[in-house]
Amino acid sequence: MEPPRSFEHTPALPAERIPERVRRAAVDLAAGTGSGYVYDPALAADRVRTLRKALPSWARVYFAVKANGFEPVLAHLAEAVDGFEAASLREARTALAALRVRRGESGGRIAVSGPGKTPELLSGLARLRAERGADVVVNAESELELHRVSAAAREAGTVLPVALRVNPEHVPVSGALVMGGTPGPFGVPEPLAADAVRTALSLPGIDLVGFHVHAVSGNTDAAAHAAYVRWCLEWSRRTADAHGVDLRLVDVGGGLGVPFEEDEDAFDLEGFGAALAELPDPGVEVVLEPGRWIAAPTGWYAARVTDVKSAYGGCFAVVRGGINHFQLPTSWEIRHNFAVLEVGAWPDGVPRPRAGGESVTVCGELCTPEDVLARDVRVESLRAGDVLVFPNAGAYGHEFAMPAFLAHPAAPRLTVDSRAP
């Protein structure tokens, strides 16, 4: 784990960049627990609708629950998505409950991914299908897993739809994280896919409905992503025809990136949709399962500054919280900027350290030098007791942190309507 890259004295974001309702909620959080997350679930649902509007009619949008599993967020998303992508039994159950509250027993589809599905997980999924009628698709990632799916389905007296996850030999896209065309635990390597297809077709309890490819995360090149989707469709059709698979589903994963810095380009959603619209109707369900693109701009992490100190030429703002709440900047080395909210209240007679017209490094309260959220950000004024707000924190924030280290309180989460006055 490395600290985030230096901002090289880039100014902090203006406070006005944070919606007024979010600013109020952030100050309230800081006055109470000291830090936490603010989400706008309605904004997340609107982003799904925006994405669906840009895509061809044959595309389906699932939300990757691992990006944000907060139940109020999932409840709003259940009104807009075609399904959810889950990576654990708990996520699958939570997503199914959200869908059924909004849509009744018909609900929507749950696709389940993960490179190490246990027999216990698969048995739980089979029971969800057999006992509760859940529309569950298992993205199987190895031949052994296919045998485990078959055994779980037969024991539950059902048949589980399966999409074989493939790790393509060459991937025409790049991003923050590439999971295709490289050594890794995800999926079946493309040269071995034919054997896995034959295994899936031979096993009872399995209905091989198609293929799953999730090869990249954080891609902001829309043209390259459209070419990647084309490759997934063409490969799936060619492979299905060669082996007699009744192709009904092609899951092309997520991977749509969002800009974290001022000079980064946003994903060209309109261009992406237009490029896909030029493709012939594939005649199958084509699933996109983004998480970050939908949720990141709909959340903010807020933390109260507990101290401001200088040491050997460096200036440090220490906050309540840190990577135990918000590990993403450090884990991914993201330059994640923040806004300073000035707070007037301060105990009389107690010194109030301040930084002004200089660059600060934001550190958390954990006993490790890795607890850094932002480095070398220039602030005009920052005092102990003020509140820092990090936008673009709605995805892989709370879910991606390390809350057990030092046993500080977990980050609370609350919701607002960020577009209200």
217-261 residue pLDDT tens? 788 889 989 999 999 999 999 999 999 999 999 999 998 999 988
Residue 253 sits in the same domain as residue 367: no
Which whole number is the average pLDDT over 315-319?
Answer: 98
Residue 210 sits in the same domain as residue 138: yes
Lowest mean pLDDT across 25-34, 204-213, 343-352: 343-352
Residue 301 sits in the same domain as residue 259: no
Residue 1 inside a domain? The answer is: no
Residue 157 sits in the same domain as residue 215: yes
Residue 403 sits in the same domain as residue 390: yes
Which whole number is the average pLDDT over 312-329?
Answer: 96
Residue 259 sits in the same domain as residue 351: no
Query: What's the CA gap between 142 and 120, in Å, rounded?
Result: 16
Tell me: the pLDDT tens digits for 134-152?
999 999 999 999 999 999 9
Residue with tokens 């007037």: 344
Residue 105 inside a domain? The answer is: yes
Residue 265 sits in the same domain as residue 349: no
Residue 253 sits in the same domain as residue 336: no
Residue 177 sits in the same domain as residue 323: no
- Answer whether 289's CB lies under 8 Å from 111's CB: yes
pLDDT of residue 177: 47
Which residues, 6 or more positions from 72, have their beta carbon under 8 angstroms from its beta carbon?
39, 41, 415
Q: Which value, in Å, is the radius of gyration of the alpha carbons in the chain?
A: 23
- 367 tagged catalytic: yes
Residue 404 inside a domain? The answer is: yes
35: domain range? 6-39+297-415
For 6, half-sphere exposure in the C-beta direction (CA atoms, 13 angstrom radius) is 7
Beta strands in 126-266 (DSSP E): 135-140, 160-167, 177-178, 188-189, 206-212, 216-217, 249-251
DSSP class of residue 398 equals: G
Tell me: the pLDDT tens digits for 323-334?
999 998 888 778
- Bridge partners, residue 287, by sequence: 60, 251
Tell me: the pLDDT tens digits for 11-51?
999 999 999 999 999 999 999 999 999 999 999 999 999 99
pTM: 0.95
Residue 114 inside a domain? The answer is: yes
Question: Among candidates 417, 418, 301, 390, which has minimal Cα distance to 19?
Answer: 418
Identify the CATH number of the domain in which residue 282 sits: 3.20.20.10
pLDDT of residue 334: 85
Query: Which amino acid makes up residue 20?
Result: E
pLDDT exceeds cutoff 60 at 111: yes
Residue 421 inside a domain? The answer is: no
User: Which entry of 232, 315, 363, 367 is annotated as an active-site residue?
Assistant: 367
Residue 420 inside a domain? The answer is: no
Residue 247 sits in the same domain as residue 281: yes
Residue 29 sits in the same domain as residue 144: no
Identify the CATH number of the domain in which residue 19 sits: 2.40.37.10
Give the total number of structural domains in the chain: 2
